[in-house]
Amino acid sequence: MKTKFDLPGIKKLLLRRPADTESLDASAAPARALFGPTPETAVAEKGSSLVDFLKQVTLFEDLGRRDLRRLARIVHERDYHDGEYIFQEGKPGATFFVLRRGLIEVVREGSSGTEVPLAMLEPPASFEESAAMGAESVRWFSARARGPVSLLTLGKSDLDALSVNFPLLANKVLMRLAGIMAIRFRMLLDAQYLKESEKPQETDQ
Amino acid sequence: MTLADTSSRAGVVFKSLAAAAGVVLGAYLVWGLRSLIVPATVGGLLAYICRPLVARLERSRVPRGVAIVLLLLVFVLAALVIVNRIRAVMPSDADALELRIRALYTLNHRYEALMGLDRPLTRGNRIYRLMHDDLDPLLDRVGQLLALTPEERAQFVASRPRGAHDAPAGSDRLVEYERANVETLERRARAALAEPATKSAPRSLAASAPTPAAQTPLAALGDILSTWIIAPLMFLFLLRDTGEIKRGLLRAVPNRLFEPALNVLADLDRALGDYVRGLFLECCLLGLTVVLLLTLIGVPLQWAIAIGIFTGATNVIPYMGFAAALLSGLAYALLAEDIRPPLPMVSSENFVIWVIVAVALAELLKNVVYEPIVLGGAVNLHPLVVVIGVLGGAVLFGLVGMLLAVPTITVVKVLVSSTARQLKAYGLI
């Protein structure tokens, strides 16, 4: 079986700062590990069918065409206009998202009450997997559409129904969700470790 | 007042009027189409119960369409078998007359024995003195239903072997029963005349009750088919749906309400699913219990199964299963002549009491064991709410209202509580 999550490779991609990150808060680097694939991994998705698009999403790339068709029957498609919040910090979460078209700004309220930009997501990034896994989660960041955005969402209730009707498919999806969450958690720890190990060097200088 | 304020107020008024018009239109449609509610609900509920079956077949690589057609075929076959069975046990005209004669004879005989009535039927034991004002009119009404008209009597006499009617006593039991019935009815009529006029009034009123207009069997079948054709359609379309209805509903919801709406729909689905599946299981268990207990006290298996199915089916309406089991059990007890119970303490004299005990035990098991285990918290409604709901439903929509009262109350309760909870959690109220 090919390795889906080559940690160093993904880490390099996820923790790399895009060119326009001057405005991003420098302390937010570990947080960026928690969000979806970067432009390098994004696949151009123009006018393809929902099943074709799902096939390009890392989460679902293992699934066969029949399973993808079943999945396409239960995902919800939502459209957002520029500046509209997909969800807001502090509110409960019950769905996870896959970005299909457009850009999403991930922000968090700083200690002074100002908005701290954390990441910019591009298709086919997925985020908030823990909400769909059934974790009683309260969202710790906000996601906002930058321009017109099209998203696919899958709720915990949808996954519950999938588990009853198609347990094998649900199992595959849940395993992938758990795998992605585990990788992100390790990257977060890694990033935190890197950040702390850089501190003494800065002090020395 | 600014122009913006005026326009905003006009908008609110317009929306309120549109909502009120929508509610009125919805209520009018529900009232106008109430005859379709039961078939549509039956089709919908069957689809709901069958959804896991279709998914199971689909998992076994049977295409969804084929799986649905297979299920529909199974239902049609089951319906045909049931109709054939019912037709097979339906008595012919002559059998029906014999059944009525036997039922009336047993009823009169057991009533007289239980009440300790004297020959002119005017004096009885303490139970009779206590209850005869209520029971006598009821017995009269049942007697009028069962008694043969002169034409029916002539038909019955003609159906007996030649000379049976003039044969000596004991040679034809049914002829003897019929004679006894006529005699008892005459005695009851004399006893009624001897009573004060106020007491006998209801009896004469009952006798002159108008009969409903007759309808040909073909017209009745046409009526049933035209209404019930919606049930298989509903069943097919709901099973064919793979989430389009839910997604269509959610598509109409604004983005900020999407997640709360998804959660509310999930709560509704869970509550309704728990209720429907729980009720289905409870009806099956109650039916089986009634079959088992009635067989134990000596009801033949085929009659016990018939009463069990009837009880299970009517248990869909709260408290109706108990009433159905009791009435059909007592009806059998009145009709039965030779009872051979496996239990030694049951005899034909105390058979009625044992039927009541069996039905009460089944109801007790349902309330104490089945309902808490099978239905659990699916319908967490106060009994008073259930009673008022069922009675209110009966007053407004008749049988349909009784049937749908509890699921409707459950859905409304979950809808209101879940919506309030979600809106609060998302800071929308």
CB within 8 Å of chain A, chain B residues 83-112: none
Residue A48 has pLDDT above 70, yes or no: no
- By the 8 A CB rule, do A80 and A152 touch? no
Interface pTM, i.e. ipTM:
0.76
DSSP A92: B
A201 within domain boundaries: no
Residue A46 has pLDDT above 70, yes or no: no
- By the 8 A CB rule, do B282 and B375 touch? yes
A36 within domain boundaries: yes
Whether the bond into B39 is cis, omega within 30 of 0: no
Residues of A in contact with B55 (CB under 8 A): 164-166
Residues of A in contact with B259 (CB under 8 A): 87, 92-95, 155
Residue B104 has pLDDT above 90, yes or no: no
A3 within domain boundaries: no
Query: Domain spans of chain B?
Result: 35-202+227-240
Residues with Cβ within 8 Å of residue A65, at least 6 apart in sequence = A51, A55
Q: Locate the chain A residue with the closest alpha carbon to B265.
A: A157
Report CA torsion sign: B362, B367, B373, B375. positive
Residue B339 has pLDDT above 90, yes or no: no
Residue B307 has pLDDT above 70, yes or no: yes
Residues of B in contact with A86 (CB under 8 A): 255
Question: What pairing do the DSSP bridges indicate for beta strands A115-121 and A95-109?
Answer: antiparallel
C-alpha torsion angle, residues B259, B260, B265, B268 (rounded to 10): 150
Q: Which of A76, A95, A166 is facing B247, going by the closest CB pair?
A: A76
What CATH number did the domain enclosing A47 receive? 2.60.120.10
CB within 8 Å of chain B, chain A residues 9-68: none
- By the 8 A CB rule, do B143 and B108 touch? yes
Please state the pTM of the whole predicted model. Answer: 0.71
What is the domain range of residue A40? 10-192
Q: How many CA atoms lie within 13 A of A197 on its CB side?
A: 6
pLDDT tens column, B362-387: 999 998 888 888 776 666 788 888 88
Q: Give the pLDDT of residue A171.
A: 92
A1 within domain boundaries: no
Q: Which of A74, A90, A164 is facing B243, going by the closest CB pair?
A: A74
A5 within domain boundaries: no
Helix axes of B258-296 and A156-165: crossing angle, nearest 10 degrees:
40
A81 within domain boundaries: yes
Residues with Cβ within 8 Å of residue A178, at least 6 apart in sequence = A133
CB environment A102-141: b (16+ within 10 A), e (fewer): bbbbbbbeeeeeeebebbbbbbbbbbbbbbbeeeebebeb
Q: Give the pLDDT of residue A79.
A: 95
DSSP B13-44: HHHHHHHHHHHHHHHHHHHHTHHHHHHHHHHH
- How many residues belong to chain A? 205
A204 within domain boundaries: no
- What value does the mean pLDDT take over residues A11-36? 47
pLDDT tens column, B395-423: 887 777 888 888 888 889 999 999 999 99
Total of domains in chain A = 1
A2 within domain boundaries: no
**Residue B352 tokens, joined:** 């009625």
Residue with tokens 């799986």: B67
